């Protein structure tokens, strides 16, 4: 597999990895592993549409059948995406082409509700921006139930669907991003099952092209997992588009995350070497406790943690969050547990730019603002030191 694109975990814990293979001819590839990492089966397939070999999303149903979409890379025919269905053993059941466009970046375009497959993409017109959303629903046999197009409100340069999730009363929540003035803006659309827009909202901007939503409390609150060079979770309220808080960061060991998948107890991250062709891919499994937005930050962390700056890239202000655990004590006997915290910013040559924090702090979560109004565009690093703990992260200033 030269280009991994998506990961899915079926009802029995088997892990399915989808991607593309390049040789004299071009194929998409599906590989299934057991929960212990043993290879169960693999398939390579050349779609009936030339160029439709880039898998962009897979999903499994209650019987562990696999649905997937592939993107057509031929410019003259890019609007025709292919949707397929395979058995739990990887056997092809059907594949069909539809007038819908899927972007180059892997995204969540598929949703299964009561044996109905919902698909969301956009409309591609050669030489124009794709600012029209396309939604369709299919039966388990691939027959069309409904098909609808609608324009995105606002000043949108480019629109692509990023995620599709159910909320209460069988209403679909559609999350997507648009490109404008050097940033990506997250939007949400609340849709009925026949794709009537019930509500739309714009969230904060982000530097990531890759983001997924997770519905945690019946549509009242949801989380966005942003990933790429870093993997972290932020929470929103569906009635308030303000950033709630950044509650979780995951160590990717410096690798670029291409796709994530979650179940009740774990987060799975698919990463790969940078470059082409990809020589190796890695699936990591993270354990975490589900956290609701109603929880407060007064719970003391058990380790020092430095989070990604947000937004990043930024202009000219960004925020840096870090957590301080219960640990060392102040010099006064019986005093409050404190840590000596030092947070500094450096330029790409290692020169110190500024000191943001230099003091003793009790356990808790903190957020500081860094303003780069007088600094030139470029790459900067922020470094947190707390006792023996030292960690640095990168941020990009774009003016």
Confidence class of residue 61 from pLDDT cuts 50, 70 and 90? Answer: very high
Distance CA 395, CA 307 (A): 11
Superfamily of domain 3-287: TolB, C-terminal domain (2.120.10.30)
The span from the CA of 51 to the CA of 40, in Å, is: 28
Q: What is the pLDDT of residue 280?
A: 58
So what's the pLDDT on residue 373? 93
Q: What are 171-195's pLDDT values in tens digits?
A: 555 555 555 444 556 666 777 788 8
pLDDT for 268 equals: 79
User: Cα dihedral angle (345, 249, 168, 153), rounded to 10 degrees?
Assistant: 30
In which band, very low, low, confident or very high, does the pLDDT at 225 lie, cut at 50, 70 and 90? confident
C-alpha angle with apex 70: 65 to 72, nearest 5 degrees? Answer: 160
Of 187-191, 274-278, 328-332, 388-392, which one has max mean pLDDT? 388-392
Residues 329 and 41: their CA atoms lie apart, in Å, by: 56
Whole-number percent of the chain with pLDDT over 70: 58
pLDDT at 286: 76
- Tens of pLDDT, residue by residue over 27-36, are 788 999 988 8
**What's the pLDDT at 228?**
66
Rounded to an integer, the average pLDDT of 2-27 is 80
Task: Kindly indicate the confidence band of residue 264, based on its pLDDT and cuts at 50, 70 and 90.
Answer: low
pLDDT value for 40: 94
Contact assessment for residue 344 and residue 359, using Cβ atoms and an 8 Å cutoff: no
End-to-end CA distance of the chain: 39
pLDDT at residue 322, as a whole number: 86
Residue 182: per-residue pLDDT: 46
| pLDDT value for 327 | 54
Q: Please indicate whether residue 220 or residue 306 has the higher confidence score (pLDDT).
A: 306
Q: For residue range 341-398, what is the model confidence (pLDDT) as tens digits?
A: 999 999 988 899 999 999 988 877 788 999 999 999 888 999 998 877 788 888 888 8
Provide the token pair at 19. Answer: 């991607």
How far apart CA 229 and CA 104 sit, in angstroms, is 18
Site of tokens 């904060």: 204
CATH code 2.60.40.1930 for 305-397: yes
Query: Average pLDDT over the chain, rounded to whole?
Result: 73
Q: Are residues 166 and 174 in contact, defined by beta-carbon separation less than 8 angstroms?
A: no
Query: CA 116, CA 105: separation in Å to the nearest integer?
Result: 25
Burial of residue 96, with CB atoms counted within 10 A of its CB: 0-12 exposed, 13-18 middle, 19 or more buried: middle
Q: What is the pLDDT of residue 180?
A: 47
Residue 93 pLDDT: 96
Residue-level pLDDT at 323: 80
Q: Cα angle vertex 88, ends 34, 79, to 5°?
A: 110
Mean per-residue pLDDT for 211-223?
60
Q: Considering only CA atoms, which of 161, 62, 149, 25 is closest in space to residue 98?
A: 149
Question: What pLDDT, on a 0 to 100 scale, did the predictor assign at position 1?
Answer: 55
**Could you state, in order of their start, the residue ranges of all structural domains in the chain?**
3-287, 305-397
Neighbours of 261 (CB within 10 A): 20
pLDDT score of 6 more than 70: yes
The pLDDT of residue 261 is 73
pLDDT confidence band for 64 (50 / 70 / 90): very high
What predicted TM-score, i.e. pTM, was given to this entire model?
Answer: 0.57
């Amino acid at each position: 597999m030269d280009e991994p694109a998506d990961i899915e975990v079926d009802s029995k814990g088997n892990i399915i990895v989808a991607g593309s293979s390049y040789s004299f001819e071009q194929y998409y590839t599906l590989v299934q592993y057991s929960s212990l990492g043993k290879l169960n089966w693999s398939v390579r397939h050349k779609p009936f549409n030339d160029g439709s070999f880039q898998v962009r999303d897979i999903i499994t149903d209650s019987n562990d059948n696999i649905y997937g979409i592939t993107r057509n890379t031929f410019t003259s025919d890019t609007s025709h995406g292919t949707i397929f269905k395979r058995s739990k053993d990887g056997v092809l059941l059907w594949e069909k082409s539809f007038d819908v466009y899927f972007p180059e970046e892997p995204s969540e375009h598929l949703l299964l509700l009561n044996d109905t497959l919902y698909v969301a993409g956009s409309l591609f017109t050669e030489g124009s921006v794709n600012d029209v959303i396309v939604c369709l629903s299919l039966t388990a046999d691939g027959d069309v139930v409904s098909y609808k197009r609608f324009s995105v409100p606002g000043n949108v340069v480019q629109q692509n669907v990023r995620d599709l999730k159910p909320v209460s009363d069988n209403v679909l929540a559609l999350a997507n991003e648009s490109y404008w003035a050097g940033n990506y803006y997250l939007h949400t659309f609340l849709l009925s099952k026949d794709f009537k827009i019930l509500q739309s909202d714009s969230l904060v901007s982000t530097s990531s092209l890759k983001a997924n939503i997770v519905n945690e409390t019946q549509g009242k609150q949801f989380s966005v997992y942003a990933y790429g060079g870093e993997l972290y979770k932020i929470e929103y309220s569906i009635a308030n588009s303000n950033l709630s808080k950044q509650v979780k960061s995951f160590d990717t060991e410096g690798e670029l995350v291409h796709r994530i998948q979650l179940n009740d107890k774990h987060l799975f991250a698919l990463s790969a070497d940078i470059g082409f062709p990809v020589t190796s891919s890695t699936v990591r499994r993270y354990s975490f406790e589900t956290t609701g937005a109603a929880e407060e930050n007064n719970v003391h962390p058990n380790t020092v943690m430095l989070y990604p700056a947000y937004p990043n890239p930024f202009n000219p202000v960004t925020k840096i969050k870090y957590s301080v655990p219960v640990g060392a004590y102040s010099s006064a006997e019986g005093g409050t547990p404190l840590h000596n915290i030092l947070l500094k910013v450096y330029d790409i040559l290692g020169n110190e730019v500024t000191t943001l924090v230099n003091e003793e702090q009790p356990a808790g979560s903190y957020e500081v603002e860094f303003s780069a109004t007088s600094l030139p565009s470029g790459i900067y690093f922020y470094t947190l030191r707390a006792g023996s703990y030292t960690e640095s992260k990168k941020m990009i200033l774009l003016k």
